Amino acid sequence: MRAPTPAVAAVVRAGVAHTVHEVGHDPTVTAYGKEAAGALGVEPGRVFKTLVASVDGKLVVAVVPVTGELSLKALAAAVGAKTAEMAEAATAERATGYVVGGISPIGQKRHLPTLVDVSAARWGTIFVSGGRRGLELELVPSDLVRLTNGRLASIGKS
């Protein structure tokens, strides 16, 4: 059977233990991660959103809990940069190959530096987008870090 997205294909290819969850998506909802947490019936802090920021002009992926926000100042500091701002949606979509609301940190079109908020480490498993709205990947946080060649950093704020 063919994987439904590049993210799922990358996880399968790497031999990483995971679970794919189809949660559906209401097109009128824009809080995709919180919608997923409700559909999955899990603590919302276990569901992480994938954001793309421009840090000193270079794209960086930030993975933070849906219950909080990305600290652009902390993200810039974590990569030794001066400034950070959210990337335009079209820029994020072109770089990752995914649509906003379904951007996965895994299996992106272009490899971008990736930082995962340290809060991920407190959970046995976390949920990230599987590469489209309504598709979630559940995996161990350390596997996410390894698959993205990323690292943990304190980049979220409540």
Secondary structure string (H, E, C) spanning 93-143: HHHHCCCCCCCCCCCCCCCCCEEEEHHHHHCCCEEEEEEECCEEEEECHHH
Per-residue pLDDT tens over the stretch 13-52: 999 999 999 887 667 766 767 777 788 888 899 999 999 9
**CB-CB contact of 11 with 137 (8 Å):** yes
98, pLDDT greater than 70:
yes
For the chain, list the domains and their CATH numbers. 6-157 (3.90.960.10)
**CB-CB contact of 114 with 82 (8 Å):** no
Helices (H), 27-106: 32-40, 72-78, 89-96
- Confidence class for position 124, pLDDT limits 50, 70, 90: very high
**CB-CB contact of 78 with 154 (8 Å):** yes
